[in-house]
Structures are given as C-alpha cells and as structure tokens.
Amino acid sequence: MLKLKGIAASSGIVIGKAYCLGKDDFSVIKRKISYEEISREIYRLEEALIDTRKEIVTIQDKISKELGFSEAKIFEAHLLVLEDRVLIEEVIKQIKNKKVNVEFAFSRSINKYTETLLGFDDKYLKERAADIKDIGKRVLKKLLKKDTPRAYEVKEKVIIVAHDLSPAETAALPKDKIIGFATDIGGSTSHTAIIARTLGIPAVVGLDVATKHIVCDETIIVDGYQGVVIVRPQERTIKSYYKKSEQILKAEKTINISRALKPRTIDGKETIVSANIEFPEELPLVKHFGAEGIGLYRTEYIFLGKNKLPSEEEQFKAYLNVARTVKPSSVIIRTIDIGGDKFLSRPEMPHEFTPFLGWRAIRFCLARPDIFKVQLRAILRASIEKNIRIMFPMISGISELREAKKLLDSCRRELKKEGKRFDDDIKIGVMIEVPSAALTADILAKECDFFSIGTNDLIQYSLAVDRANEKVAYLYEPAHPAVLRLIKDVIVSAHKNNIWVGMCGEMAGEFLFAFLLLGLGLDRLSMPPPRIPKIKELIRKVKLSDAKEAASNVINFSTSVEIEKYLQDYLRAILKGDSRQLLGI
Ligand code: PEP
Ligand code: MG
C-alpha cells in the first residue's frame, strides 16, 4: 500500500479502477546497430507504418460516422505522410549508412522535415508541419511500444490517472464513465480541478508521481477531502473508506433535501446562489442542485478540441438551449476565455512563454474580431429569450471594455440591418480578475451593469502565483489580506455606482469564505453546482449581522492563517451542534 499526497481539488471519496493516460514521453535513445540488425530495423519501420495506418483508418471511420465525411477528411494528410517515399527512404538511408536504430533515424527525419516546413512563412505549410509531427508521434509510439490509452476511449467506470489533462482532452471525456481524477500536476483552480468540482467527481491534483506509481487497472482510493490517493489499498483501508464515504453521502442527502429553499439569512438577507458550467451536459445539474440560474457559463469549451471553429449557428443553438433551460432564471454568458491554460488548436494560437500573462481572453478576442464577432452575434441572437447577460473576461482597464462594447454595438447594427431580433437591453458585465481592474473598479463600474469577481485569476495575478502549478500552491491563498482588500474595494466601488457585484471564482463555493464574502457585502455567489446545497444551507443558518462583524474584524488581520482560523472558530461558535455536524465545521 502506498499513500500519495497531493492537492485536494474536488471533495468526495471514490474507490475504483485506475485508467492511466500516458505522459506522451517520446524520448528516443540513439543506439548503434550491427550490419545484421539492419534488415530487422527496416522491418520494424514497415510494421510501425502499417500499424499506424490501420489506427488512422479506424479513427477516420469513427469520425466519419459520428461527425461526417468532411471532418474525417483531415486525416487524409496524415495518411499521405505515412506513404511519403522521400521520408521513408531518408529513414532507411540513415539506418543503413549510419547504422543507427530505427527510432532514432525516424525521429531525426521527422524533426528535419517539420523544421524545414516551419521555416516557411506559409500558413498551409505550417499546418502540414503539425500533421507530420502528430503522425511522427503515432509511429514512434508504435516503435517504442507506448500504446497509451486515450481519454475518449474509456468504456467502463474508472478513475483517470494522468500527468495532466488538456482542456481539449477533458472536453472529450465520456463524463458518465469517469468517477475520479488523480493527476501529477495542477493546482486547485486548474481546469481539471474546476471541471471535477462541477461534475461532483472526487479529484486530487499535483500528486507529482501518480503516473509513476499507479499501474493501469489496479484499485486506488481518491480522497478528495484530504488530497490523498492510496495505491494498492489493504482490505481494511478499503472498508474504512467505504464507511467514511457512506457517512458523507448521508450528510449530503440531508443537506440536499433543502436545496430548493431560498438562501436567506436568519435576519432576512436574501442572496442569489447560481451555478458555474462549462458543458451542455452539465445543464441538468443547475436545477438538480437548486441553483438560481447560471452565474458563469465558460463558453470556451465549445471551441476546444475542434479542428474547426464553431459557426454562429452552432453557437446560437448552444446559447439558446442554455437560456431556455434555465428560464425563468438568467444565464451570464462569458465570452471566450482562450489562452492561459486553454488553447485553440493550431494555427490560431502561437506558443507563448507566459501564456497566463499573454494573449488571453479579451486580448485575444479584440485582436481577432473575426472570431469574436461570430460569438457576439450568436449571444445577441440567443438573447431574444431576455434572460441572457454577457460578460467579458480578463478586462484590465476601461479601454478594453470600451473596445469590446464597440464591437458588440457593431454586431447589434449588423443584426438590425439583417432583420434579426435580440434583447435591446442586454446587461453587460465585467469580470474583475486582474488587479488593475480591481483597482480601477470605480471607473469600470460607470460603464457596465455588473461585476463578477474571478478570484481564480485575481489570486494568481495579485499574489504572482501560477494557479496551475502545484509547486507554488502553498502560496495560493484566497484569504490573503491583499486579496481581501481588493475584493472589499471592488464591492464598495460597485455599490457606490449602483451596480451589483458577484463572485464566480472557486472561492465563492468554500463555506468559510462564502460567510466572509456575505459580510463584505457581496451580492451574489456562483459556484460548481454540487457545492450549492451546502452553501445555501450555511446562509440559512447564519445572520448577516454576524457575517458583517466577522468580516470587519478579519479585514485587519495580517495573514490568511489567522483569518481562516478566526472564521472557523466564529462559525463554530454561532452554529448549532447539528448544523456544525452537517456542514462539517
Ligand atoms: C476566475 O478566474 O475566477 C474565473 C471564474 O474564471 P476561470 O477560472 O475560467 O479563469
Ligand atoms: Mg478567470
């Protein structure tokens, strides 16, 4: 039995079979071969090329059936590479003349090929380079016998064990089959953690060595409360975890009974608690967990893992569906937040050294009005339902907001000309997730209808801590005095300018912080749906006057440790025994 410690990313306990996704490690070692080995290496090359061809034809068939012939056609280029005699002859020449192993000869030739193509200032050739790189990986995998399973191939209920999961991979996961996550890297607000929380799947990230120690198909325990993964557990450990998980499920059931009740404090303050979603599959969770509409719809997931950008019509249908499903409540549609740790497939996005500080969200959208306007038009058209609000991510100052609104206006004019209807009074919100936006909230508040504080980013940018890096996760402190001061100032600026302010960062779904935020005067909270019943229960069990008192005290404390301890003790003192037990405080 082995106990691995990581970061608790999504609460819950699960015991199940590990499904290990490979690390895509294609390090190739150069080996000198003898004259007698030459024919064997050439045979291995041919075998790998044939196997890869079979693999691609199978994928092509599958995609053709599921998405249509034109989508499957992109693999034609891959197949052509496999038959490219110039490439094959080059590899064989190296094996014969230089007497090196096939893996080395092949990877060298592929690298030479792609580098040459990348050297041209031509979009088409650059795309071909990416195709060749991809096919090169597939062939190398065959040669190195690294036939790692892929996430979308999961057939039974499993716990995903991976070095990391790209957002595109996460988007393609068969969500009904995944019962847990354990990853080597990542922090509590990296995309895998957020999605696990939304789906209510236990997850531990930042384990560092999970893929090294966990073997596929063996039983593991993921404890998303403690941030622990137990590998090859003993029978009695399994039993004790089953017991623990039953107790937790019982408490959750009790809390869930009252999930439809309004979140109103004992002294009568009613707040709005809404849901964060990423995929249409998550829509049923909104009502199920008693959310009042959607406070954050992360639309970028429609764009990820696709070979083609979604059309205006596709997007219109997706947004309309969400708007209709949550009616009479509303949905805040956030325009695409691409970049950071979520990338479009090539060629739209180049490699960057510091992507979280780079071409991300509104910066990307303003630079690519061709992509942005398609989304804005689709959102506007769906707004005929009258319950859509639009929100811009990563605004760092008023100029960006003005530019985004200008583009929105030009979409309005276009639609009017085309005779297409939309909500004339659609409300516009700004995500406050960059310190410069928080510090100029008084300026921004005059030109928008609401704020939503995105603490996942606000924390990383104000404390200079990469949110997806487990090595610095200990510095990622939501209750850092600097963060609390920024939040407080944003709330004050919003209220002075008569607009409401919510929070859609993960901090809103943590009960200690939810209590504090209430006391700081925040108007709305939005969070992963499974968190909602507990937060609503907490709100119903406290007084706003207590929350205000606690907030006015902790705002003067020096460290997050002191702040969290104070809040914990405060809640313990004011909550009755049964509520304390139920909420696990
Ligand atoms: C945030 O930054 O708090 C947020 C909600 O946006 P995302 O997590 O998608 O960056
Ligand atoms: Mg953000």
Which listed residue (20, 191, 365, 411) is catalytic?
191
Contact of 91 with 109, CB cutoff 8 Å: yes
* 504 touches ligand 1 (CB under 6 Å): yes
Residue 413's pLDDT is 98
Distances (CA, A) of 369 to 162, 364, 372, 486: 36, 9, 5, 31
Counting from 1 in the atom list of ligand 1, the atom nearest the Cα of 457 is: 2
Q: Which of 301, 431, 486, 525 to mutate to test the pocket of ligand 1 (most atoms within 8 A of CB)?
A: 431
Q: Is there a contact between 449 and 405 (Cβ–Cβ < 8 Å)?
A: no
d(Cα 574, Cα 282) in Å, to the nearest integer? 35
Q: Which of 67-71, 181-185, 465-469 has the lowest mean pLDDT?
A: 67-71
pLDDT grade, residue 482 (50/70/90)? Answer: very high
Residues 35, 99 contacting (CB under 8 angstroms): yes
Active-site residue, 495 included:
no
User: How confident is the model at residue 122, as a pLDDT?
Assistant: 79
Q: How does pLDDT run across 411-460, given as a tens digit for each residue?
A: 999 999 999 999 999 999 999 999 999 999 999 999 999 999 999 999 99
Helix (H, G, I), strand (E, B) or coil at 437: helix
- State the distance from the centre of ligand 2 to the C-alpha of 359, rounded, in angstroms: 13
Measure Cα distances from 346 to 205, 356, 374, 506 in Å. Answer: 27, 18, 19, 30
Nearest alpha-carbon partner for 189 in 419, 443, 465, 415: 465
Which of 504, 517, 527, 531 has the most ligand 1 atoms within 8 A of CB, as the residue to mutate? 504
Superfamily of domain 264-583 in the CATH hierarchy: Phosphoenolpyruvate-binding domains (3.20.20.60)
Lowest mean pLDDT among 13-22, 386-395, 494-503, 516-525: 13-22
**Termini Cα distance of the chain:** 30
Catalytic residue check, 351: no
Selected from 3.40.1190.20, 3.90.25.10, 1.10.600.10, 1.10.274.10, the CATH number assigned to the domain covering 25-143 reads 1.10.274.10
How far, in Å, is the centroid of ligand 2 from the Cα of 241?
35
Is the CB of residue 299 below 6 angstroms from any atom belonging to ligand 1? no
Q: Rounded to whole angstroms, how far apart are CA atoms 223 and 226?
A: 6
Atom 3 in ligand 1: residue holding the nearest Cα: 454
Q: How confident is the model at residue 131 (pLDDT cuts 50, 70, 90)?
A: confident
Which residues on neighbouring strands pair with residue 338, listed in sequence order?
Answer: none
Instruction: Please tell me the predicted confidence (pLDDT) of residue 68.
Output: 65
Share of the chain above pLDDT 90, in %: 64
What spacing in Å lies between the alpha carbon of 252 and ligand 2's midpoint? 29
Q: For the whole prediction, is pTM greater than 0.95?
A: no
**DSSP for residue 99:** -
If we measure between CA atoms, which residue out of 417, 441, 8 comes closest to residue 188? 8
Domain boundaries, the chain: 25-143, 158-254, 264-583
For the domain spanning 158-254, the CATH number is 3.50.30.10
d(CA 495, CA 445) in angstroms, rounded, equals: 9
pLDDT of 152: 64
Q: Can you tell me which atom of ligand 1 is nearest the CA of 452? A: 5
